[in-house]
Amino acid sequence: MAAKDCHSGAVLKNNMKGKNKDKDRWLTKLRAPFENVFSKWERRARYRGLLKIQSQILLETIVFNGQKVVGD
């Protein structure tokens, strides 16, 4: 990954060599707000066809963001 100028986003287990607790803590804080968003979405689409699925995702994001604004 270093050759492609990328870094690992993995949080290592406690028994792994080279575990950096500060890095893991930082990654966890960085990920936390976004993981919650994607955990609420459905895993499967209701419809068949790319246009219908894109419409479903668009409407779901509008509803999700609207709920965040209202404070639900």
Query: Which of 33, 46, 35, 42 minimizes the C-alpha distance to 61?
Result: 42
pLDDT at 51: 93
**Residue located via tokens 């406690």:** 14
pLDDT at 2: 62
Parts of the chain with a pLDDT under 70: 1-3, 7, 36-38, 40-41, 72
Q: Quick check: pTM over 0.75?
A: no
b/e map 50-67, b = 16+ CB within 10 Å = eeeeeeeeeeeeeeeeee
